Amino acid sequence: MSKQGIVSASEVSELRPGFQDWKQQAESQKARAVKALQSSLRMYELNEKIKSTLDLTTRLLDLESEAELFSEAVNLLTSEEGMGFRDASLLLVEEDSLHTACSTLERGKKVFTAEGDHRYARWLAAEGKGEPFPGGEDDQELMVTLRSRGRLLGLLEVVQHEREKVLFEGLDSFVEWRRDLVTRIGEVVSMLIDNLRLNQELKRQSTVDVLTGAYSRSFFLQRAEDEVNRALRYGRSLALVFIDIDHFKEINDEQGHLAGDMVLRELGSLFRRNVRNADVLGRYGGDEFVWLLPETDLEMAVCAADKLVNEVRAQRFELSGEGTSRVAISVTASLGAAGLLPGENVEALLRRADEALYKAKAAGRDRLVS
């Protein structure tokens, strides 16, 4: 360097290698700092998503129907306050197929066979062999199997945004965290599906008589009270019919209780075929049934009940006899009908229908009295 402090060209040439090293180090440090900052931002974003997603997941616990559960789960996975995926789909196993229960994807096909050349079948085949998912939509898809108590319930599928793929590219730990979170959400959804179905079955067993398919006595009486109150409030017609199988004790005594159960089962099916969707059919006890007909006056109820008397009379019941032989028998029924009177409660309506039934049996059975 000259005394005037001016660097000559030759001196610059001598300094350049050291200057270049320093510049490269500075650029490298800057790149590392930017990458660290990006990683911190990504971690912060993921942590915030995890916290908000866990909060939202607790909402699923209070839902009472599968439709609500599926809709809320898909919203949890795709909303900005949730996981923020581009798309999400829930598919349920029904018989040998996968049925789309809820999805944000626009697809024409809603049912997929468990075997075939589509991504769901490939995923199930790979999962069954313990292999990784064999690729999806540019590797942006993630699938989770829904299982409970060892049974396959369905599949949960999510598709990430392209920007999300770029943001987390190269950050394997973040991608794995997100996969684990989606898996946990799938486990919660699986548990809730199973619980809802168990509750539905318990409710069905408590409201429906297993043998005949008619409603249980307690459930019928609750429905009858509701219908009576509604009819009185709005001035609508309502009728009730008592049904009693004639000489049913003789069937049990002569053919056995298994044969008696078979007759009750087939009669329950016959009765249900002959009542309207709006009607309420209950098994009152033993061989006695009760039939509630909303929006129906006594005259209309008598026409419907007369038809039922004829249907029962025409029915043949094939019972197993000794060895391989079969015995065909027929039965008859006695019916008593009553229409709701102004200001009458459900107990009074039941009593008048029961009195009409008693008259039908006293008059020779196999008939309707109103």
Query: Which is nearest to 262 in space by CA: 309, 335, 320?
Result: 320
**pTM, to two decimals:** 0.56
| Cβ–Cβ under 8 Å, residues 77 and 142 | no
* DSSP structure class, residue 215: B
| Alpha-carbon distances, residue 72 vs 66, 107, 279 (angstroms) | 10, 20, 34
Q: Do both 120 and 263 map to the same domain?
A: no
Q: Do both 312 and 165 map to the same domain?
A: no
The set of residues, in sequence order, having a beta carbon less than 8 Å from that of 311 and lying 6+ positions away, is 270, 274
Q: Do both 175 and 244 map to the same domain?
A: no
Distance between CA 359 and CA 337 in Å, rounded?
11
Residue 22 lies inside a defined structural domain of this protein: no
Q: Do both 262 and 294 map to the same domain?
A: yes
Please tell me the total count of domains within the chain: 2
Phi, psi of 160 (to 5 degrees): -85, 160
Q: Do both 46 and 93 map to the same domain?
A: yes
Q: Do both 153 and 242 map to the same domain?
A: no
Q: Do both 110 and 239 map to the same domain?
A: no
The set of residues, in sequence order, having a beta carbon less than 8 Å from that of 69 and lying 6+ positions away, is 60, 63, 189, 192, 193, 196
In the chain the first and final C-alpha atoms are separated, in Å, by: 127
Q: Do both 224 and 197 map to the same domain?
A: no
Kindly calculate the radius of gyration of the chain based on its CA atoms and give it in whole angstroms.
36
* DSSP structure class, residue 208: B
Q: Return the H-helix or E-strand segment holding 11.
A: helix 9-57
Distance between CA 258 and CA 254 in Å, rounded?
11
Q: Do both 165 and 197 map to the same domain?
A: yes
The set of residues, in sequence order, having a beta carbon less than 8 Å from that of 236 and lying 6+ positions away, is 230, 294, 295
Residue-range definition of the domain harbouring residue 194? 40-204
Which of 149, 177, 204 is where one domain is finished? 204
Residue 17 lies inside a defined structural domain of this protein: no
Q: Do both 46 and 77 map to the same domain?
A: yes
pLDDT in tens, the chain (370 residues): 445 555 455 554 555 555 566 666 666 665 655 555 455 545 555 555 555 555 666 778 778 889 998 998 898 888 877 778 889 999 999 888 899 999 998 766 788 887 777 888 888 887 766 665 554 444 577 888 999 888 899 999 988 877 665 555 555 566 677 788 888 888 888 999 998 988 888 877 789 998 999 999 999 999 999 999 999 999 999 999 999 999 999 999 988 899 999 999 999 999 999 999 999 999 999 999 999 999 999 999 999 999 999 999 999 998 876 555 678 899 999 999 999 999 999 999 999 999 999 999 999 999 999 9
Query: Kind of pairing, strands 111-113 and 368-369?
Result: unpaired
* Domain of residue 233, CATH code: 3.30.70.270
Catalytic annotation, residues: 287
* DSSP structure class, residue 363: T
* Domain of residue 52, CATH code: 3.30.450.40
Q: Do both 170 and 276 map to the same domain?
A: no
Q: Do both 191 and 269 map to the same domain?
A: no
Alpha helices in 90-216 (DSSP H): 119-128, 162-168, 172-207
